[in-house]
Structure 1
Amino acid sequence: MRYYGEEALGLIETTGMVPAIYGADQMLKAANVELISYENIGSTLVTIFVKGDVAAVKASVEAGAAAAKEIGPLTAQNVMPRPISAVGDIVSVHDVDAQVDATEDLPRSKALGMVETFGIVYALEAADAMVKAADVDLLGYENTASGYISILVSGDVGAVQAAVEAGVSAVKEMGVDPHSSCVIPTPHPALSKITSQYALDKLLP
C-alpha cells in the first residue's frame, strides 16, 4: 500500500534477514500495526517498516527490537510520529504489497523455520540436512548480500523444530556457527508478503 506519512512509522533494522523476520513477527503480534515495507538494503542490513498510531508503533518497535536481538544483531530502531510526506514516498518504494500476490498468505497452521549462514556452501548443507531430517517444505532462500544466505522451510511445529536443529547441527559440523536461526510456530499471515518473495519457483529463471 502507498504510505503517505499519515500515521506513525516504526522501523527496526538488523544484520541479516532472519533476525528481521523474527522481529517483524513480534512487531505485528504486539500491537495494532500494519506491515508496509521491507527492504534488503545490502551490506547485510535488512529493515522492517510498520505503521499505526503512535502508541501502537512504539509498542510494536519495542517488541520487534527485543525479539530481533534474541537471535541476531539489531543495528537500529526508530519511531517517527509524524514523518513528512517525502519520507512516506521513500518508504513506499519498498512497499510489500507491490511485490506479492495478496492471495499467497502463509497458512497460520504452518510453522516457519529459518537458518542463516555466511556463505552459500553452508546454506546448501543446512538446506539438505533440514529437508532430510523432517517432513518440511523448502520455501526458498534469500541472498541478503555480502555473503549472508537464509534458508526458509515450513511445516508442522515439531517438524520445523527438528529441521532447524538439523540444519544448525550440519553447519556446526562443518566447523562454523550459523549467523542466526529461529522457529516461528504461528507466523503472522503478513509475513508471507516477505517470505513469498523468496520462493524457489519465483527465483528460478
Structure 2
Amino acid sequence: MRYQGEEALGLIETLGMVPSIGGADQMLKTADVKLVGYENIGSTLVAVMVKGDVAAVKASVEAGAATAAEIGKLTAQNVMPRPIRGVGDIVSVHGVETTDTDYSGPRPRAMGLIETFGIVYVLEAADAMMKAADVELIGYENVASGYISVLVQGDVAACQAAVEAGVKAVENMEAEVYASLVIPTPHRDLEQITKIYAIDNLLP
C-alpha cells in the first residue's frame, strides 16, 4: 500500500517474526487502523506499520506493543502523528500488498506459530506439529541470524496441540524456542503478511 503521510503512523518492532505477527493481530483488532507496512529488516528485527487517526493509532500501538512483549522481545514502538511525505515514501518501500478482503466469507482458521534457532530445530518442530494434530503447514520464514519460524493453521484445538508438540520437540533437543503463539481468530488482514511466507510462494 502506498502511504504518503496522510494519516498518523504507528509502528512496533520486535526480535523475530512471531511477536510481530501477534502484535499486528492485536493492533488491527484494537482500533480502526489499516496495515500499511511489514518488514523483515534483518539481524532478527521485524517491524509492523499501521495508519489511522492519531487516537486510533495510539491505542493500536499500545495494545500491539503489549501483546508483542508478552510473546517475545519488543525492541521499539512509536506513534508519528504527522509524518512528512518523505517518511511515507520510506514506509511505502516496506508496504504490504493491498487486497479487497471479503469480510462476508468464512472466518480465517486458527493459526499456530513457533520460532526457534536454526533449521534443524524448526524442522523437528514442524514435523512434530503436523504429526500431533490435523494442521496444515502454511508458511516458513528464515528471519535472519538463525531465527526461523514455521506457521500452521487448523481449528483452535489442533493448533494448540500442534504448538505444544512443536515446543516440546525443540526442548527435547535441548534447544530454545524463542517464541510460540496460537491465534484463535486471526484478523483477516494478517493474510497480507502470512502470504509472504506461504510455502507455495517459496517453492521453486
Coarse TM-score class (shorter-chain normalised) = over 0.9
**1:119 lines up with 2:114 in the alignment:** no
* TM-score, length of structure 2 as denominator length: 0.96
Q: What are the superposed Cα offsets for residues 72-120 of structure 1, whole Å, 9 maximum, x if unpaired? A: 000000000000000000000111116xx65699952400100000111
CA contact (8 A) 1:30 1:60 kept: yes
Structure 1 ranges of 4+ moved more than 3 A = 101-107
Superposed CA RMSD in Å reads 1.5
Secondary structure in 2 matching 1:182: strand
Q: Is the 8 A contact 2:11 2:47 kept in 1?
A: yes
Spell out the pairing of 1:53-92 with structure 2 (5 A cutoff).
53-92=53-92
Trace 1:16-165 onto structure 2 (pairs within 5 A).
Answer: 16-97=16-97, 108-165=107-164
- CA distance in 1: counterparts of 2:121 and 2:163, whole angstroms: 13
Q: How does 1:165-184 map to 2 (within 5 A)?
A: 165-184=164-183
State, as a whole percentage, how many aligned pairs show the same letter. 72
Number of positions where the alignment pairs a residue of Structure 1 with one of Structure 2: 203
TM-score w.r.t. structure 1 length? 0.96
Instruction: List gaps (5 residues or longer) in structure 1.
Output: none
Distance in 2 (alpha carbons) for counterparts of 1:141 and 1:58: 31
Distance 1:104 1:113, change over 3 A: farther
CA contact under 8 A between 2:130 and 2:137: conserved in structure 1? yes
Counterparts in 2 of 1:136 and 1:104: CA distance versus 1, 3 Å: farther
Q: For residues 78 and 145 of structure 1, what CA distance do their matches in structure 2 show?
A: 23
Q: Which runs of 5 or more residues in structure 2 are unaligned?
A: none
| Distance in structure 1 (CA, Å) of the matches to 2:198 and 2:106 | 15
Change (3 A) 1:96 1:107: farther
Whether 2:186 is the aligned partner of 1:187: answer yes
